[in-house]
Amino acid sequence: MKFGVVVFPGSNCDIDCYKVLSNVLKKDVDYVWHDTENIEKYDVIILPGGFSYGDYLRCGAIARFSKIMDSVVKHANKGKLVIGICNGFQILTEVGLLPGALIRNNNLKFICKTVPIRVENNTTPFTLNCEKGQVINIPIAHGEGNYFIDEEGLAQLEKNNQIVFRYCSEEGLIDEKSNPNGSVKNIAGICNKAGNVLGMMPHPERASELLLGNEDGLILFKSIIDYLERGHFE
């Protein structure tokens, strides 16, 4: 079992992801530079948060053309696992592995705080240790985390059970008050139809040690590990 954390110019959460996997979970993990083309040895590719290429055009718009992304698309098409966190989610939409787009928060401000999210789909490799409807507290840190998709696309997401997380209240209520950025239907994370590619704006790697006050995010990484150990990957 081997993890690869992609490093783009401007990534700033790559170290967090690496440390959780190596120090906390004791797993084999590498940093993978953005111009790497051969990623066949990795079972899981993580696109971390940050500001790839400074987000000068549009979040993820330049990173989408990095050499590694063609390999990431092939990796995903083989059924291997890909998770994009925050800026990584934005990159996944730019490259077309996930539908929709991430636009400016509706208050036009950068938001950095811990929020509750509700697990909508616990059948993915990333959520198999979760209960459907379970509320976990995960930090967000973004200025363009407002998930948008048209009505037809939303209908497809709902039909295919691709909505994985929604922003909610501490009690699990989905309402406008619990939506921090204006995302359509409070969407905080989605997967592709096959379920092997996940994009989410909240940062589970920032909630994976009690030293940081919260380890709710560990459930996602442990789900991935259990999924692979059970042999479902093959």
User: 117-171 pLDDT, tens per residue?
Assistant: 999 999 999 999 999 999 999 999 999 999 999 999 999 999 999 999 999 999 9
pLDDT band at 234 (very low <50, low <70, confident <90, very high): very low
Check if 171 is active-site. Answer: no
Instruction: Give the mean pLDDT of the chain.
Output: 96
Q: What is the 3-state secondary structure (H, E, C) of the chain?
A: CEEEEEECCCECCHHHHHHHHHHHCCCEEEEEECCCCCCCCCCEEEECCECHHHHCCCCCCCHHHCHHHHHHHHHHHCCCEEEEECHHHHHHHHHCCCCCEEECCCCCCCEEEEEEEEECCCCCCCCCCCCCCCEEEEEEEECCCEEECCHHHHHHHHHCCCEEEEECCCCCCCCHHHCCCCCHHHEEEEECCCCCEEEECCCHHHHCEHHHCECCCHHHHHHHHHHHHCCCCC
Please compute the mean of the pLDDT values over residues 5-22 and round it to a whole number. Answer: 97
The model's pLDDT over 78-126, given as tens digits with 9 standing for 90+, comes to 999 999 999 999 999 999 999 999 999 999 999 999 999 999 999 999 9
For the chain, which domains are there? 2-229 (3.40.50.880)
- Our answer to whether residue 203 is catalytic in this structure is yes
- What pLDDT is stored for residue 212 in this prediction? 86
Residue 86: active-site member:
yes
Lookup: tokens for 162: 């691709």
* pLDDT recorded at residue 210: 92
Q: What is the pLDDT of residue 74?
A: 98
Residue 233 above 60 pLDDT? no
What whole-number percentage of the chain has pLDDT above 70?
Answer: 99
pLDDT at 232 over 90: no
**Average pLDDT for residues 51-55, to the nearest whole number?**
92
Q: Is pLDDT at 21 greater than 60 in this prediction?
A: yes
pLDDT on residue 227: 96
Average pLDDT over residues 51-74: 94
Q: Which of 86, 130, 168, 191 is catalytic?
A: 86
Say if residues 72 and 65 touch (Cβ distance below 8 Å): no
Average pLDDT over residues 173-184: 98
> What is the rounded average pLDDT of the residues 207-221?
95
